[in-house]
């Protein structure tokens, strides 16, 4: 993608005094529910009212949305409150119906982004639209799929584009419903710096009491906005009850969240920052040096195993290392999640080194 500066224009044109806020229920359940939530949010900082009309479910039998009927409810939201509306689309029919009902913003969900076929169908259906289109990251942590989805839409002459970071599925133990993998979002920002990036803390956390902290983290990382699921009676919501907040909770969050400055001209700050960054550079170089030394030892282990015809993977030894390192990490203020990721990566590199020695 080249000459992408126009991608941020739609957000700049809004002249917001705060990050973009998209809020509303996970699912449109009834007309009364949709309108009541909208009226409670109309005088807040919410810029777009969201509601899921078609709900992709992992297994059949669960609530799959009210369908096109809900689009009429969104029209009433606009008529009665003046709020702009948005919903998820997953195929060409959804796109056609949403545009016919004057939905202002369309987003493409994580289950759609994983399929280039679906993304191309959506790009064809949306070609040349002046609607805002946001693309959620794919379910799995595959940056190429996310980038590819954006590129297909951009190639279809859709200029009001943006992305939503909603976390990634994992089989690993985690406090999150979908692990944030912030480094992937940061890499995405580096690749598409002119593309507005929104955070969906509801789907990342899966728990309403964690939504604020993840929202603040996103703002600390210079995200452009938030998409937060909001319901008048979250505990009895027809879908994703645990992660939705009440309108009053959302309003208080908008007061409590802090928007950070990108930088400051304060001389003492800049001097202190440069000093600390210099210290980080020294430690990072030491880390690389230590890891290099560790891999040289792994090479020697590989040579020894080759000589004695011993298998590379030693599960008992690996589990002992992992258990010890998790405990050591806790003593040093490192989360179990971080230690697991780091040592799994180190272990995999060690295996690669040993396999190379044995095959050589």
Give the rounded distance of the alpha carbon of 181 from its chain centre.
8
> Over the chain (360 residues), what is each successive 10-residue block's mean pLDDT?
78 90 97 98 96 78 84 97 97 97 97 96 97 97 95 95 95 87 92 95 97 96 96 96 97 93 83 90 93 94 90 86 89 89 91 88
The pLDDT value given to residue 57: 63
In this prediction, residue 5 carries a pLDDT of 76
In this prediction, residue 59 carries a pLDDT of: 64
Q: How far is residue 98's CA from residue 115's CA, in Å, rounded to a whole number?
A: 21
Alpha carbon 41 to chain centroid, angstroms: 24
- Cβ neighbors of 325 (< 8 A, separation 6 or more) are 339, 343
Domain regions of the chain by residue span: 5-256, 267-359
Partnered with residue 135 across adjacent β-strands are: 108, 163
CA distance 146 to 315: 35
Alpha carbons 209 and 176: distance in angstroms, whole number: 12
d(CA 250, CA 260): 19
Contact criterion met (CB below 8 Å) for 230 and 34: no
Which CATH number is 5-256's, of 3.40.1790.10, 3.40.50.300, 3.20.20.70, 3.40.50.880? 3.20.20.70
State residue 3's pLDDT score: 66
Assigned fold of 267-359 = Chorismate Mutase Domain, subunit A (1.20.59)
């Amino acid at each position: 993608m080249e000459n992408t500066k126009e991608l941020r224009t739609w957000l700049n044109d809004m002249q917001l005094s705060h990050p973009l806020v998209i809020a509303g229920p996970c699912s449109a359940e009834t007309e009364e529910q949709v309108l009541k939530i909208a009226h409670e949010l109309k005088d807040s900082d919410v810029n777009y009212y969201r509601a899921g009309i078609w709900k992709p479910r992992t297994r059949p039998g669960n609530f799959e949305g009210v369908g096109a009927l809900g689009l009429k409810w969104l029209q009433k939201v606009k008529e009665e409150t003046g709020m702009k509306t948005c919903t998820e689309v997953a195929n060409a029919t959804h796109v056609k119906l949403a545009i016919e009902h004057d939905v202002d913003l369309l987003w493409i969900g994580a289950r759609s982004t994983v399929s280039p076929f679906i993304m191309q169908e959506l790009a064809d259906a949306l070609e040349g639209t002046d609607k805002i289109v946001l693309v959620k990251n794919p379910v799995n942590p595959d940056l190429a799929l996310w980038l590819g989805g954006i590129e297909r839409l951009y190639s279809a002459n859709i200029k009001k584009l943006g992305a939503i970071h909603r976390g990634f599925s994992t089989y690993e133990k985690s406090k999150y419903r979908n692990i944030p993998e912030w480094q992937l979002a940061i890499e995405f920002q580096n690749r598409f710096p002119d593309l507005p990036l929104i955070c969906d803390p509801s789907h990342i956390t899966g728990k309403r009491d964690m939504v604020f902290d993840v929202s603040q983290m996103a703002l600390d990382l210079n995200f452009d906005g938030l998409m937060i699921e909001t319901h008048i009676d979250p505990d009895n919501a027809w879908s994703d009850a645990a992660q939705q907040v009440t309108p009053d909770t959302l309003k208080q969050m908008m007061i409590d969240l802090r928007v950070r400055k990108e930088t400051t001209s304060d001389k003492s700050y800049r001097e202190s920052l440069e000093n600390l960054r210099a210290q980080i550079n020294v430690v990072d170089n030491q880390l690389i040096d230590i890891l290099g030394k560790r891999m040289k030892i792994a090479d020697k282990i590989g040579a020894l195993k080759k000589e004695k015809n011993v298998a590379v993977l030693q599960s008992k030894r690996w589990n002992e290392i992992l258990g010890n390192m998790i405990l050591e990490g806790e003593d040093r203020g490192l989360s179990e999640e971080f230690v697991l990721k780091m040592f799994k990566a180190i272990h995999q590199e060690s295996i690669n080194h040993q396999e190379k020695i044995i095959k050589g």
